[in-house]
Chains A and B, each alone.
Chain A
Amino acid sequence: KAGVTQTPRYLIKTRGQQVTLSCSPISGHRSVSWYQQTPGQGLQFLFEYFSETQRNKGNFPGRFSGRQFSNSRSEMNVSTLELGDSALYLCASSSLNTRGSYNEQFFGPGTRLTVL
């Protein structure tokens, strides 16, 4: 099985611009979660999508949004970029167990975003 893929791997933007990142989950996985990793804050949960619906959301401003398509591929969008948005953005896909909670998460390689 192919792993989780993320595109692009590297991105440079300037303040005020917007950016869209893409994540393709492992085939058959319907849950996709997004995370931000920075040296100062570490890993932080952004949001999780399941069957095209946002099920869970972390404590990030509305500039951070996402969506999921019918083939489970997901995109996240950051509008009006700020310097502090420079980070590694990771997505992870998972299947759900019979209790409706997460199974093991499989992470993509990440997109490194630099905001100048």
Chain B
Amino acid sequence: KNEVEQSPQNLTAQEGEFITINCSYSVGISALHWLQQHPGGGIVSLFMLSSGKKKHGRLIATINIQEKHSSLHITASHPRDSAVYICAVATGNQFYFGTGTSLTVIP
């Protein structure tokens, strides 16, 4: 049983499209993280959320604690957004990761 489920696993979009990646979790959390991983392995933390909504540029992350669900939105997608997006949840003493969503944005 996976504590964190992401969907979709793979996503291809045309440049400029609005993209949504979903994350559901089954454990009590202290925070939820959205991570971005480019080919070559480097991971960048995009957001850390414990409630509500956050926005950085074209990226928006939301979380619904009651429904144990979070979404990552990318507005006006660009080829440089092509990467794997990973949802991670922090419990009191553990981190659990989703399997990632591989996003390809075509020019």
Contacts and interface: CB of A to CB of B under 8 A. Distances in A.
B44 interface: yes
Interface residues of A, number: 24
Interface in A22-67: 33, 35, 37, 42-45, 55-58
B93 A110 contact: no
Interface in B5-21: none
Interface residues of B, number: 21
B72 interface: no
Contact of B100 (A42, A58, A107): A42
A42 B48 contact: no
The DSSP consensus for interface residues of chain A is strand
Contact of A55 (B31, B93, B98): B93
B33 A56 contact: no
B60 to A, nearest CB: 17
Contact of A56 (B31, B48, B94): B94
> Which 3 residue pairs spanning A and B have beta carbons closest together?
A43-B97, A107-B43, A56-B93
Given A88-B41, A105-B48, 12 more contacts: A35-B95, A37-B41, A42-B86, A42-B97, A42-B98, A43-B86, A43-B88, A45-B94, A45-B95, A56-B93, A103-B48, A112-B41
